[in-house]
Amino acid sequence: MKRREPITFAGAAAPRATARGGDARLDFDCVTVTYPGGPALSEVSLSVPHGGQVAVVGPNGAGKSTLFKALVGLLPLQSGRILIHGREPGDQHDPIAYVPQREEIDWRFPVTVADAVMMGRYGRLGWLRRPRAEDRTAVVSAIELMGLTDLAQRPIGDLSGGQQQRVFLARAIAQEPHVLLLDEPFTGVDAAVREQTLSVLDELRRKHVTVLVSTHDLDLAATRFDRVLLLNRRVIGYGRPQEVFTAERLVQAFGGQAMFIDGMVVIDQCCPGPGEEAPAADEGASSRPTG
């Protein structure tokens, strides 16, 4: 594998514990989220340790994006409870950085790269406070780190997909998060952006930032993450990749999209069923079953 250049930045070290939270971590306790069309998450329970890196894997419509939105308090829970460092979403000061799926961002929104990255500091600025020197410094260094200095004054809508992804990574870095959620960051980006994203994850690991990343890339999930969450509205498996990625569980999660070829499970994510959205790009993943 190609060696990655180390990336370093001044992220805040996450607290090990809070007054109300015991060991800092994310907890889902029997979480159900329902849209008018039916449940998207059903009785999801799991716990992510402080500084853990989890890949969230499942077919289209499995509830991966719903899980992230529930975590940042964008969706009401029908039942159950989510605790972040011991506090409910929206009731905590630990910054959570959330990078939505590309399709969910309005790229026509008239902001420059520098503005978009400064938005990462808004949670720290408070109501009507002007950016301080330290906010500007954080923004400039995040922009530099992601190689966007020459593009800083350009509108985000003018950039390529890879450049846009780097803007959102820069925003997340400027935020100095304790928890980072990346929704399909490896879909539709080139190898350079993929490597850059992985380097950011390496650095966040050193800083004990808790990270959840949704991906269709099973190999990446298996080789690069401490834990995987195999999701299809409910938890099919959660734990170390070699324990979770068994043939049985992959078939359970992906149904007819899972095939056996030469002792490997191949997940065909190219052609969604009726009513499902087509995945954006690099789909088609395989995994050698371990059970």
- Contacts to ligand ADP by CB under 6 A: 35-37, 40, 58, 60-66
For the CB of residue 141, give the shortest distance to ligand ADP in the complex, in Å. Answer: 32
Which of 60/78 has CB closer to ligand ADP? 60
CA dist., res. 70 & res. 253, Å (int): 21
For the CB of residue 95, give the shortest distance to ligand ADP in the complex, in Å. Answer: 23
Contact pick of 33, 54, 55, 65 for Mg ion (by CB under 5 A): 65
- In single-letter form, the type of residue at position 229 comes to L
For the CB of residue 10, give the shortest distance to ligand ADP in the complex, in Å. Answer: 32
Enclosing H/E stretch for 139: helix 133-145
Could you tell me the two tokens for 149? 């200095």
For the CB of residue 59, give the shortest distance to ligand ADP in the complex, in Å. Answer: 7
Q: How many CB atoms within 10 Å of residue 160?
A: 12
Number of amino acids touching Mg ion (CB under 5 A): 2
- In single-letter form, the type of residue at position 218 comes to L
Which of 159/236 has CB closer to ligand ADP? 236
Enclosing H/E stretch for 69: helix 64-71
* Nearest of 100, 277, 272, 282 to residue 187 by alpha carbon: 282
Query: Which does residue 92 touch among Mg ion, ligand ADP, none (CB within 5 to 8 A, set by kind)?
Result: none
Which of 61/155 has CB closer to ligand ADP? 61
Residue with tokens 């191949």: 266
Q: How many CB atoms within 10 Å of residue 192?
A: 11
CB 71 within 8 A of CB 100: no
Which of 40/167 has CB closer to ligand ADP? 40
For the CB of residue 246, give the shortest distance to Mg ion in the complex, in Å. Answer: 24
Query: Which does residue 86 touch among ligand ADP, Mg ion, none (CB within 5 to 8 A, set by kind)?
Result: none
Binding positions for Mg ion, rule: CB under 5 A = 64-65
